[in-house]
Amino acid sequence: MKNPLLAPELRDYLESGNDEALTLFLDSGHPRVIADFLSALTPSEAWKILSVGDLSLAAEIFSEMDEWFQADIAETLSRQELAHLVTEMAHDDRVDLLGRIPENRRLRILSALAVAEREDIRKLSAYDEGSAGSVMTSDYATLSPELTAVEAIDKLRHEAPDKETIYYAYVLDGKRRLIGFVSLKDLILAPPHEKVEEIMNLGVISVRVSDDQEFAAREIQKYGLIALPVINGGDALVGIITHDDAIDIITKEHTEDLEKFMAIQGSHDAASYLRTPALTHFKNRVFWVVGLAATGLISGGILHHFEATLSSLMILALYMPMLADTGGNTGSQSATVVIRALALNEITAKDMLQVLWKELRIALMLATVLAAVAWFKVELLSGGTPLPGGFTLTQVGGAIVLALAIQVVTSTLVGALLPLGAARLKLDPAVVASPALTTVVDITGLLIYFTCARVILGV
Amino acid sequence: MKNPLLAPELRDYLESGNDEALTLFLDSGHPRVIADFLSALTPSEAWKILSVGDLSLAAEIFSEMDEWFQADIAETLSRQELAHLVTEMAHDDRVDLLGRIPENRRLRILSALAVAEREDIRKLSAYDEGSAGSVMTSDYATLSPELTAVEAIDKLRHEAPDKETIYYAYVLDGKRRLIGFVSLKDLILAPPHEKVEEIMNLGVISVRVSDDQEFAAREIQKYGLIALPVINGGDALVGIITHDDAIDIITKEHTEDLEKFMAIQGSHDAASYLRTPALTHFKNRVFWVVGLAATGLISGGILHHFEATLSSLMILALYMPMLADTGGNTGSQSATVVIRALALNEITAKDMLQVLWKELRIALMLATVLAAVAWFKVELLSGGTPLPGGFTLTQVGGAIVLALAIQVVTSTLVGALLPLGAARLKLDPAVVASPALTTVVDITGLLIYFTCARVILGV
C-alpha cells in the first residue's frame, strides 16, 4: 500500500544527500510503515534510500513491500546487490521473491549466492504449492537437550538476528528428530543450570511437509501457537510456519472458499484484482457459467415438455420466476450455513440426520411465511385477471402456493444435503457452488410446479 | 471438541484415586489436547481430574474447553471454587465465561472475588460488543523507561506466570500513556545496563478501545504482531489483543461476511450450528428471504405488463429462466470478486472507473461465449417447433440471444457497481447480498428481454 505522505521530504533528503535524516527515517517505525512510505517513490529511489541503512534492516523493510514493487526494485538491482539482499531476507520471503523473477535472471542470482543459501532455497522451493512445506521457513532456532537454560539463552541470543522467531526453540536429537520444544519464557523462568531436556515440553504439535497449508494454519489457530514446526517423512524438523503466515493463509483460503462457492476458479497467490488481466478473470469465471448454462438445457427441456400446460394457463408462467428465485435463495442459505459449520468443525458428515431434522423445521417455518407472501402476491397481481378454463383464482393460487412451499422445503434440504454429501465423499463442501445449487433447485422447482398444477388443476 | 480416546483410562484413574497418573496426564501435552480429552467425560468428572493438578494449570486447560462445556462445569462448582478458578483465568477468558453465567449467580461469584479482580472484570465487560475493548485482555506486561535491560528481564520473569505474553512489554510514562514497547528479544540482545528508554521501539502500532475488533485484527495481520496494545481516549494503555485472538476474530468475521452475502443475519458469538435453536436459524434467514420475495412484486408486475407479449409468443416464456439464471450468476461473480478485492484493500471506491472498465471487458468476453451457448440451446430445443405470427427461428433466437448478451454485460457491471457504491457510502460492501443482486438483475433482465423482443420482433 502506497503512502505518499512523506514522498516530497524523502526526495529532498535524497537530492541533498542527507543520509543522516534517511537513516533516522528508516528506523523510525515498524518496517511495514516504512515500506508503505517508500512504495510511493520510484523503485530506484526506494532502493537508494534503503541502501543508506544497514542491509538487514533494508531486507526487513523490502520484505514488507507489495510483491510487484519488490519485483520492480529487483529489476533495478545488479546481480550482486540482489544476491546480498536475498541473503539477508527471511528464508520463506526470499523463495517467494525468487519465484517471481524470470528464470534466466533467477539462475544468475542463485549462482552468486553461497552454497548453503542456494541449497536452502532449492529445498524450500521444491514443495508442492499449497502444502505446509511450501509456506514454511527454515530459519528457526534449535537446541540440543543437554544444554543448560543459561547456555540455551546464550545460544538464542547469538542466533537471534538470523532467526524468524526465538520465542520457541525446538529440541532435536542426534538425527534432527523433533523431541520437544521450549519457549523463551520457559528458559527465563527455569533455574539457570537446569537442562533443556528437563525444561522442554513434550508432545509437540507439528505437521508434515505434505500436509495442507490450511490444516497447518488451523493447528496454529487451534493451539494459539506463535510457530508450528514442520517435519518430514523421517520425523526430522525441516521448517516452521509462523503465526503471521497462518493469518495470511486463512485469509487467502477464505477468499478462495467464497469464490469457489460463487463458482469462480483460480488461486490468489500472485496478483491483486487490478493487476490480474481481464482475460484471466474471464477464464476464472467462464467455466462454471457456461457449465451452468449448459445444464440449463435440462430445465429448458422440462419447460418445453410442459409448453402446452403453460399455453393453456398463462398465469403459471408469470409465477415461475418467483418459484425459481425463492428456491435458489433458501437453498443457498442452508448451503452457506452448513458449509461454514463444516469448515469450523461445528458439525461433521456424521451429523447428517441431526442437520436435516433441524433444516426441515427451519424450512417448514420459512415455507409458511413465504407461502403467505406468495398468496398475497397472487391476489394483488392476478386478482382482476379472468382465468381460462373456468378455474378460480383460489384454485390456481392454491396450486402456486403449495408448489412454492414444497419447493422451499426441498431446496433447503438439498442445500444442506449437498455439502454434507461432499464432506462424506471427502470433497471440499464448498464445491457445491451456489450457482450450481440454484441450477439444481431450478430443475426440482419446475417438476414440483407442474406436478402441483397437474394434481390440483388437472392441466 | 470431544476426544473420547482416553475416557476409560481417565475414569479408572479417578475411581482408583490414582492422582499421580492424573497429574502426569494433565501435564502431558498442550492444554487444548488435555481439554479435548476431558471434554469426553461428564462435567463433574472433568472437574475432579482438573482439581488434582495445580489451579493455574487447571485454569489454562479449562479455558481451552468449548464454551458450553465450561458453563456446564461452572454449574457443578461451589461459589468459592468458581471464584478461585476465575481468579486464575486469563482476564479476557474469564469475562467471556462470566458473561455466559446467569446474572444472580454471576453477582454472587463476583462478590467472592478480590476487589482488584472484580474491578478488572467490570471494566473489561463494559466495552461495546464488537469493539477492540471487548476482545482485549488486561494481563499485559509493562515497564518503566528508566529500568535497565537486566532489571526489565528480571521484572518480566517475576510477572510471567500472570501475563498473557511477556514477549512484548509496553513502556508507560507517569500517566500510563504508551510511549514505546520492547520485545523480549530486544531486551536479551541489549547490553545488560542499557536503559529501556534507549532500547525501546517508538512509533508503537496501537488501536483505541472503541475501534472495530476486525480493524484491530487486521492491524495484527498487517504488521505481523504477537500482541497489539489498546489505548483509551487519554492515550493510556488499557489492554492488549493477542495474535491468537486475531485469528479467531478474522475467522468469525469471514463467517459473518459470507452469511451476510448470502442474506443471512445474526452473529457468531455464542453457539454452534447444532446448538442454535431452529427458531433462531429461522429468524436469521426469514427477513431477507421475505424481503426479496416482496421485491419480487416488481418483476411480477413487469411480467403481468408483458403478459400479452408472452401469450402471443409462448417461446419467449421458455427462455426467461435461462436469462434470469445467467444474469444472477454473472452478477454474483463480479460482486464476489469486487467485494473481496475491497475487503483485502486491493481496490478502493476511488478505483471505480478502472474496475468498471475491467469488468466491461470481462463481461463482453462472457457475453460472447454465453450467447453462443444460448443460440445452440434455442436451435436444439426449439428447432422443430413452428412459430406463430410468421416469425422465423432466427428472428426469435436472435432476440433471445441479444437480450442474453446485454443482460450478461448489465448484470456484471451492476454486480461490480453495487459494492463499490456501498463502499463509497462508507457501508460494508457485503451488504450487497447475492440474493438481493439476483433480484435486481431479474428486474433489469425482464426489461431488457421484452425491449429486445419489441425492437426486433415488434411484439
Cβ contacts of B326 on chain A, cutoff 8 Å: 289, 292-293, 296
Bridge partner residues of B180 (DSSP): B171
Mean pLDDT, consecutive 10-residue segments, chain A of 459 residues?
88 93 91 93 94 91 91 90 91 90 87 90 89 93 94 91 89 93 92 94 92 93 94 93 93 81 65 78 84 82 86 85 87 87 82 92 94 90 78 90 95 93 82 78 91 89
- The arithmetic mean of pLDDT across residues B5-12, rounded, is 92
Question: Does the residue B252 lie in any domain?
Answer: no
Query: Is A362 within 8 Å of B278 when comparing Cβ atoms?
Result: yes
Q: Are B387 and B345 in contact (CB under 8 A)?
A: no
What pLDDT does A137 receive? Answer: 93
Q: Select from A205, A301, A344 the Cβ nearest to the Cβ of B381.
A: A301
Note down the domain range covering A105. 4-126
Q: Are B369 and A286 in contact (CB under 8 A)?
A: yes
- B121, B151: one domain: no
- The arithmetic mean of pLDDT across residues B363-390, rounded, is 87
- A319, A444: one domain: yes
Cβ contacts of B365 on chain A, cutoff 8 Å: 278-279, 282, 286
Mutate one of B182, B202, B243, B353 to test the A interface: name it (highest A CB count within 10 A): B243
- B156, B108: one domain: no
What pLDDT does A240 receive? Answer: 96
Contact status of B180 with chain A (Cβ, < 8 Å): no
Q: Select from A294, A324, A435 the Cβ nearest to the Cβ of B324.
A: A324
3-state per-residue secondary structure call for B235-259: CEEEEEEEHHHHHHHHHHHHHHHHH
Query: Is B322 within 8 Å of A328 when comparing Cβ atoms?
Result: no
- B217, B324: one domain: no
The last residue of a domain, from among A67, A97, A126: A126
Cell numbers at residue A136, please? 514454511
pLDDT in tens, A6-55: 999 999 999 999 999 999 999 888 999 999 999 999 999 999 999 998 89
Closest CA of chain B from A120, distance in Å: 24
Show which of residues 283-302 on chain B sit within 8 Å of chain A, judged by CB atoms. Answer: 285-286, 288-290, 292-294, 296-297, 299-301
Q: How many domains does chain A have?
A: 3
ipTM of the complex: 0.80
Average confidence score pLDDT of chain A = 89
Residue B108 above 90 pLDDT? no
- B231, B305: one domain: no
Give the sign of the dihedral formed by CA A380, CA A381, CA A387, CA A392. Answer: negative
Q: Are A67 and A101 in contact (CB under 8 A)?
A: no
CATH number of residue B179's parent domain: 3.10.580.10
Produce one character per residue of B357-389: b if its CB has 16 or more CB atoms within 10 Å, e if not.
ebbeebbebbbeebbebbbebbeebbeeeeeee
Contact status of B226 with chain A (Cβ, < 8 Å): yes
- B342, B409: one domain: yes
Residue B379 above 70 pLDDT? yes
Contact status of A78 with chain B (Cβ, < 8 Å): no
Cβ contacts of B355 on chain A, cutoff 8 Å: 273-274
What residues have CB less than 8 Å from A193, skipping those under 6 apart?
A148, A149, A150
What pLDDT does B339 receive? Answer: 85
Quick one: which of A410, A418, A419, A415 has its CA closest to A446?
Answer: A410
CATH number of residue A99's parent domain: 1.25.60.10
- The DSSP line for A338-387 is HHHHHHTTS--GGGHHHHHHHHHHHHHHHHHHHHHHHHHHHHHHHTTSPP
Instruction: Show the CA angle centred on residue A323, arms to residues B366 and B438, nearest 5°.
Output: 35
Residue B309 above 90 pLDDT? no
Looking up cell 510457530, which residue turns up?
A227
Query: Is A167 within 8 Å of B167 when comparing Cβ atoms?
Result: yes
- Specify the 3-state DSSP secondary structure of B45: helix
Average confidence score pLDDT of chain B = 89
Query: Is B373 within 8 Å of A294 when comparing Cβ atoms?
Result: yes
Query: Is B345 within 8 Å of A1 when comparing Cβ atoms?
Result: yes
CATH number of residue B312's parent domain: 1.10.357.20
Show which of residues 2-61 on chain B sit within 8 Å of chain A, judged by CB atoms. Answer: 28-30, 32-33
- A182, A218: one domain: yes
Residue B318 above 90 pLDDT? no
Question: Does the residue B267 lie in any domain?
Answer: no
The last residue of a domain, from among A126, A155, A188: A126
Question: Does the residue A43 lie in any domain?
Answer: yes
- What is the C-alpha to C-alpha distance for residues B282 and B287, in angstroms, rounded to an integer? 9
Question: Does the residue A84 lie in any domain?
Answer: yes
